[in-house]
């Protein structure tokens, strides 16, 4: 049930007049300078063009400037079959934007003295060594003076930076195999059937599985479920109360959760999304994620969750990939961001060097691989519709 440009514009104008679309609960502090009705109309027009180009059922966007809410808007529908209008309160699977959530959780443990980035994950004298058996060190390695097998050389930092060198998401991603296995079974299976062939730290391979392991590290060190620890020690501290780990099926759809539509032939409801918890399992509003980014942006317009040293480390890339740090992509001009992509979901959250934070979520994945980049460009274009917001003027 595609919506006309006129319908989208009407929805935006109602929000501008204060007749619909209450602000997201996560962004309730004093607002920044708000766009005028004409500017909102222009922004809605950009959104309508994007949605038409990529056959998007619903699009939701939240923008903050200097830690203050500036724009929180939703376009289209949460459910095409019922025609349920999308609002800023609707939650989406955020996919891989779960990774900066997990990274933040890891750094809270570092700051609490419970963890170091150089700590080993598997093998003797490691965090998970007693939970997951590893292959003994081969004689060939011992002859070179190595005391640990490659998998036993993996550290927390390697997982955060995707530098284990294997378990990537391009081919045979463990997180999309053996769908009936629980975390423990899947990790044991992966260690047995997909061993490392090169020492960690040398090459970059974007790894959902690595972030799955980080979730288990959090559980091991805290005695809590990954979800509960993040809720109590990350989300609650910045006023986010509505995030949770997603269900897998349509019948598991949570309150105020959108319905997902895939254009690629995949089925959004035939994935084990709950098992993706620490690498891709959260549902949230764009306001939720924008609020989280405001609290880790390093600008101190809002109370920060982490110390300056932690944020500096979190945003420092590895030598293997100068564009990925620890749960965050990094640009040459110091913008931080992460995107997410699953069947039925395309998302992005951004922290710019000009003190902007924003998130934009949709409930579809397009056949056109350029949709993710276009979603990023859309929000940049929308900010330029308000001249006083222009990043170049605020940098």
From first to last of its 395 residues, the chain has per-residue pLDDT tens of: 444 433 343 343 333 333 333 444 455 556 568 899 999 999 999 999 999 999 999 999 999 999 999 999 999 999 999 999 999 999 999 999 999 999 999 999 999 999 999 999 999 999 999 999 887 666 556 555 567 899 999 999 999 999 998 898 877 899 999 999 999 999 999 999 998 888 999 999 999 999 999 999 999 999 999 999 999 999 999 999 999 999 999 999 999 999 999 999 999 999 999 999 999 999 999 999 999 999 999 998 899 999 999 999 999 999 999 999 999 999 999 999 999 999 999 999 999 998 999 999 999 999 998 999 999 999 999 999 999 887 454 43
Q: Cβ(299)–Cβ(120) under 8 Å?
A: no
Note the pLDDT of residue 30: 60
Note the pLDDT of residue 11: 40
Q: pTM of whole model > 0.85? A: yes
Can you list the domains of the chain with their CATH numbers? 89-283+292-351 (3.40.710.10)
Closest CA to 60 of 351, 395, 358, 368: 358
What is the four-CA torsion angle of 174, 327, 119, 165, rounded to 10 degrees? 50
Closest CA to 355 of 265, 269, 294: 294
Beta strands 84-85 and 92-93: pairing type?
Answer: unpaired
Q: Cβ(256)–Cβ(284) under 8 Å?
A: no
């Amino acid at each position: 049930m595609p919506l006309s440009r006129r319908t989208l514009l009407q929805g935006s104008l109602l929000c501008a007049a204060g007749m619909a679309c209450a602000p997201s609960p996560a962004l309730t502090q004093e607002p920044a300078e708000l766009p005028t009705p004409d500017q909102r109309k222009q922004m809605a027009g950009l959104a309508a063009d994007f949605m038409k180009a990529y056959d998007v059922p619903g699009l939701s966007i939240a923008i903050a400037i200097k830690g203050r809410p500036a724009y929180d808007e939703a376009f289209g529908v949460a459910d095409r079959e019922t025609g349920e209008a999308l609002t800023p309160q609707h939650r989406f699977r955020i996919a891989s934007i779960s990774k900066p959530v997990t990274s933040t959780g890891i750094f809270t443990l570092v700051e609490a003295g419970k963890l170091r980035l150089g700590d080993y994950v598997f093998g003797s004298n490691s965090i998970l060594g007693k939970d997951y058996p590893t292959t003994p060190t081969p004689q060939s390695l011992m002859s070179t003076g190595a005391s640990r097998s490659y998998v036993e050389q993996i550290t927390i930092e390697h997982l955060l930076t995707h530098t284990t060198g294997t378990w990537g998401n391009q081919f045979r991603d463990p997180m999309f195999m053996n769908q009936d296995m629980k975390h423990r079974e899947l990790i044991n299976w992966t260690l047995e059937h997909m061993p490392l062939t090169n020492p960690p730290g040398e090459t970059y391979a974007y790894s959902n599985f690595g972030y799955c392991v980080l979730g288990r590290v959090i559980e091991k060190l805290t005695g809590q479920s990954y979800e509960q620890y993040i809720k109590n020690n990350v989300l609650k501290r910045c006023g986010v109360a509505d995030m949770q780990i997603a269900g897998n099926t349509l019948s598991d759809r949570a309150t105020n959760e959108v319905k997902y539509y895939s254009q690629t032939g995949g089925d959004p409801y035939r994935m084990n999304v709950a098992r993706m918890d620490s690498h891709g399992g959260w549902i949230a509003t764009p306001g939720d994620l924008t609020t989280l980014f405001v609290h880790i942006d390093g600008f101190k317009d809002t109370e920060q969750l982490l110390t300056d040293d932690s944020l500096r480390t979190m945003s420092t890339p590895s030598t293997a990939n100068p564009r990925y740090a620890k749960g965050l992509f990094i640009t040459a001009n110091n913008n931080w961001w992460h995107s997410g992509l699953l069947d039925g979901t395309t998302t992005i959250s951004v922290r710019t060097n000009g003190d902007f934070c924003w998130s934009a979520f949709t409930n579809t994945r397009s056949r056109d691989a350029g949709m993710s980049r276009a979603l990023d460009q859309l929000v940049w274009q929308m900010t330029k519709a308000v001249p006083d917001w222009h990043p170049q003027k605020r940098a």
